Amino acid sequence: DIQMTQSPSSLSASVGDRVTITCRASQGISDYLAWYQQKPGKPPRLLIYAAFTLQSGVPSRFSGGGSGTDFTLTISSLQPEDVATYYCQKYHGAPPTFGQGTKVEIK
Amino acid sequence: EVQLVESGGGLVQPGGSLRLSCEASGFTFSSYSMHWVRQAPGKGLEYVSAVGHAGALTYYADSVKGRFTISRDNSKNTLYLQMASLRTEDTAVYYCTREMGNWMYYDFWGQGTVVIVSS
């Protein structure tokens, strides 16, 4: 199975900072990658699919990039409501696999 | 408005069984593949199982293969997960999810139902 590795596992940044999370696949997955945001006690929310396509209703400060094995999720200007854990997921072929998560906090 | 409402979770002893249900509304249920994804306490997300829109195609994670059975009743807009031979490591929040675009990623999630396997 393809493994997904996220870095860092957690980060702390100030409001307004640019934040980047990295996700690496153990094999090439083209652009079959999604990103989710999960706030405490809530189910995950789809942010991005196809590596860079923003899901409807997601603020434009979120963006995705990458292809093949290396991907990024960027928050251009961190807001207090962005405090959450973020997961990447590859979905080309079964099983779909998630990264271990990156917890984002406000400094 | 799309809604997915899970039920059936609870406390069960190791080796026991449980059936989860997910009632869907707000969309044409029979047109979508559906999945179960779980999250152990304080841990990340883990794919569990999937079923095609007609119910004929199913997929299972290796960790639950042979113990869990996914099914659906399109006349009732309901997804099921029959869990048997439960282990302590099956303890988790179980989410019902809707597959988007015929690819295994999820545009809608239920609120989850908690399964605790403990003696």
Residue A93's pLDDT is what? 83
Q: Which residues of A touch B104 (CB under 8 A)?
A: 91, 94, 96
- Please name the residue of chain A whose CA is at the shortest distance from the CA of residue B61: A95
Neighbours of B25 (CB within 10 A): 11
pLDDT tens, per residue, chain A with 107 residues: 899 999 999 999 999 999 999 999 999 999 999 999 999 999 999 999 999 999 999 999 999 999 999 999 999 999 999 999 999 999 988 889 999 999 999 99
Percent share of chain B, pLDDT over 70: 100
Mean pLDDT of B49-65: 95
Contacts of B71 (CB under 8 A, 6+ apart): B51, B55, B79, B80, B82
DSSP secondary structure code for residue B32 in this structure:
S
Q: Considering only the beta carbons, identify the residue of A43, A46, A87 that sits closest to B95.
A: A43
Instruction: Decide: B112 and B93 in contact? Cβ < 8 Å.
Output: yes
HSE-CB for A81 with a 13 A CA cutoff = 4
Task: Write out the DSSP string of chain A.
Answer: ---EEEE-SEEEE-TT--EEEEEEESS--TT-EEEEEE-TTS--EEEEETTTEEPTT--TTEEEEEETTEEEEEESS--GGG-EEEEEEE-SSSSPEE---EEEEE-
